[in-house]
Every structure is written in C-alpha cells, then in structure tokens.
Amino acid sequence: MAKPQPADAPLYERDFYAWTQDQATKLRARARAHNSIDWDNAAEELESLGDSQRSEIESRMNVLLLHLLEWTYEPERRSGSWKGAIVEQRSRLHRRIARSLSLRTYPAKVLAEEYALARTIVAAETDLPEDASPQSCPFRLEDVLDPDFYPDGA
C-alpha cells in the first residue's frame, strides 16, 4: 500500500486529485495572456484528469463489491482467483486514496450506487436471481476496505 507523503511534500505528490482541481481553478482565473494557450480547455482537461481518479475508485469499488457478493452467495465456487481479485481491488483502492487524500471519503459516497450495480451484474453473470442479495449493501464500508474481511469469516 502506498504511504501518504509528508505534509511538506508538494500538493502534486500529497494529493493528486486536489492538485488537479486547484490547477484547473488557477488556469481559469489566470488573466488571459496574449499567447496560444487554450486556457479554458486546458483547465477542463486538467479537471477531467482529476475526475478520472474518482472514476477509478468507483470502478474498483464495483469490482470489489461484485466479488464480495459472489464470495457470499456462491461459496461453492470460491477460488484463489476470487480471493486474489478481492486483494487486488482493495490494494489499488488504498493506493489511489493514499495518493489523493481528498478522496478518502469518496468510497462512502459511492458505496450504495456501486453496490446496486454490482448486485445487478452478479445476477446477470450467475444463476442467482437479483433478489438473492439484499437491496441495500450488507457490508459496512470498513469491512469492504478491510484486507482481512471476507463475508462469513472464510
């Protein structure tokens, strides 16, 4: 897992997402110099780069929740590759958050939405009906992100 940077490290190194948003704001606020830089689109693209950090968290949360649901509701199919996928998603989530501390609360904001999507995908990819899993996420965020948590203690 990536370690957070020291407080005196540049913002770019401490919190990439916050840096992209700050730089986009500064680009937009900058007095338009007489040069060929497309300030508005440069700011928009920089902001978009930061937004990709949030998209990655959403995607990793979805895959992680999908595998936790499969682990819970298809115990006969559990395998090392499923466990490996859970380990990988958690590790990548922790690294992304460590690189952009301003996004540390983002997984909580998208948990319900990503769970709903994961639930639908599990139903589509397995023989399980969608109502086999609860409508609201049965996992606490702390458990979802906990490297030692596997549903039903396995």
Tens of pLDDT, residue by residue over 58-79, are: 999 999 999 999 999 999 999 9
Tokens representing 128 are 């399980």
pTM, to two decimals: 0.80
* pLDDT bracket for residue 154 (50, 70, 90): very low
Cα dist. 127→1, 78, 122, 145, 152 in Å?
A: 35, 15, 9, 27, 21
Which pLDDT score is estimated for 81? 94
Q: Is the pLDDT of residue 30 over 70?
A: no
Cα dist. 115→5, 48, 149, 153 in Å?
A: 31, 24, 17, 20
